[in-house]
Amino acid sequence: LFLKFKGGKGVATTAGAFLALAPIPMAIAITTFTITLAATRIVSLSSILAAIALPAALWITTTTPPATQTIGTIISLIAIVRHRETIKRIIKGNEHKL
């Protein structure tokens, strides 16, 4: 609200919600984020790869309810689509590093 709806893509908020809903798949996504960040120092790339890892982990984990799997997949797709300009910058090598 204070940022006039500009800024982040909601990745951190989604991570918090899924940490409660599906802790094991979220741990896999966080691990993916952490390894990618350590290797590349690019937060946005780390977020995108974590958004790919989360639904994969949700579907592989047998204890995750189908509704959570579906919602997690949809939210991850939305996050990836919202990062499309960032993906273009990463491909061009113009995305900033930490």
Distance, in Å, from the CA atom of 28 to the CA atom of 60, rounded to the nearest integer, reads 11
- 55, containing H or E segment: helix 43-60
Q: Write the CB contacts of 2 (distance below 8 Å, at least 6 apart in sequence).
A: none
What are 14-47's pLDDT values in tens digits?
889 999 999 999 999 999 999 999 999 999 999 9
Token pair recorded at residue 52: 């790919």
**pTM value?**
0.85
Element (H, E) at 32: helix 23-40
pLDDT band at 12 (very low <50, low <70, confident <90, very high): confident
